[in-house]
Amino acid sequence: MFIKSFQRAVKLSTGLPQCFLIAALLLATLNSCNNSGESKPDVTKVEVKLNSRRFDRDLAAIDTNHIGAGLQALSTKYPDFLNFYLDTLMGLGIQGNFSDSNPGIQKGMRTFLTYKDYRGLFDTINKHFPDTKELDEQLASGFKYAKHYFPAFKEPKVIYITSLLNKYGAFTYGDILGIGLDMFLGASYPYYRSVGIPEYMAEKLEPENIPVAAFRAIYEDVMPFQPDNRTLLDMMIQRGKEMYYVSKVLPDLPEEQLLSYTKEQQEWCVKNEALIYNFFISKNFLYSTNWQEILRYVSDAPESTGLPGSPGNVGTFTGLQIVKAYMKEHPQMTLQQLVQAKTDPQRFLQESKYKPK
């Protein structure tokens, strides 16, 4: 499975002889630059086989006069996913019983397939995503970079779904990468508000943000974010490593897109980078473990408390800059080593020599 392959890759030793490291660095300088201004590797010879399927369309196409038989057919096409989708994601309690007399089919699934608002959602998804060719190409490119940096990485199977606005944007399940197309219909999609998604979050639900969401899901499956009893600095570095990883596997995306910022929000952070960092210092936040005070700075929000005019999540922005500074100071370190390292946050900060101006 791709998750276990990634875990194996993360654990691999990267202690190459010095001559190999020098050769690798020389080769890197011949390649074009990525979103951080750094060179990016040539992955044209890296082979990946993309397997993507439109589960959302296959589900919508079920004959509502024979729902049980339709689900039975789907179980053949999606044997490793259908029950997870029906029972875990959607909570229908069908439990592999595809008889039309099953209450989970009679009531839950029938409503799902016939209620006019749900049918309207299927139609909207098809309008926004008549095909997934461009998405597939972006994901395949990201898989190539992931395999370059983690040779044991096994590309996942990609399954596109709808979860009726249940907020499943991107997730992993075994060797499957699930992508909820209904969560990327654009900020103007009116029904996001009706399911409690605030405007600042809806602004992030644009189709172009799918690749970032996908690779964040892959990363977090292996290296989950751990906020409990952690300092803000620790959480910032955790987030910074995650975003640095995403920047490497999606090297052609601008940094604001990696952070789900608008161009104006990114410009505010760049202009006020020193202000943000000094604010954390002046408030004694860097080494605080009071999650009620600090978690907001590494989470999505309309604004970062105490910094008027800022976007939310400025701790993640700062964490990414710290990680970039650290990697600049440690050019011999590989992405594998960075990801696998058990980081002492204070030492990491010191060794990054991070000093925003």
- State how many domains the chain has: 2
Has residue 94 been placed in a domain? yes
**pLDDT at position 354:** 98
> Residue 8 burial by CB count (10 A; 0-12/13-18/19+): exposed, middle or buried?
middle
Residues 306 and 348 in one domain: yes
Domain termination residue (choose one: 169, 187, 222):
222
Residues 215 and 315 placed together within one structural domain of the fold: no
Is residue 76 a part of any domain in this protein? yes
Q: Is residue 192 domain-shared with residue 328, that is, in the same domain?
A: no
132, part of any domain? yes
Low-confidence ranges of the chain (pLDDT < 50): 3-5, 8-31
Which DSSP state fits 28?
Answer: H
Domain that holds residue 210: 43-222
Residues 164, 121: contact at Cβ < 8 Å?
A: yes
Residue 21 placed within a domain: no
225's tokens? 């974010």
- Is the same domain home to 237 and 215? no
> How far is residue 241's CA from residue 243's CA, in Å, rounded to a whole number?
6
Neighbour count for residue 136 (Cβ, 10 Å): 15
**Quick one: pLDDT at residue 33?**
58
Query: 181 and 281 share a domain?
Result: no
Helices (H) and strands (E) in the chain, counts: 20, 4
Render the burial of 88-109: b for 16+ CB within 10 Å, e for the rest. ebbebebeeebeeebebbeebb
One domain, residues 242 and 214: no
Q: What is the reported pLDDT for 31?
A: 43
Residue partners of 244: CB distance under 8 A and separation at least 6: 320, 323, 324, 327, 335, 338
Closest CA to 125 of 117, 322, 105: 117
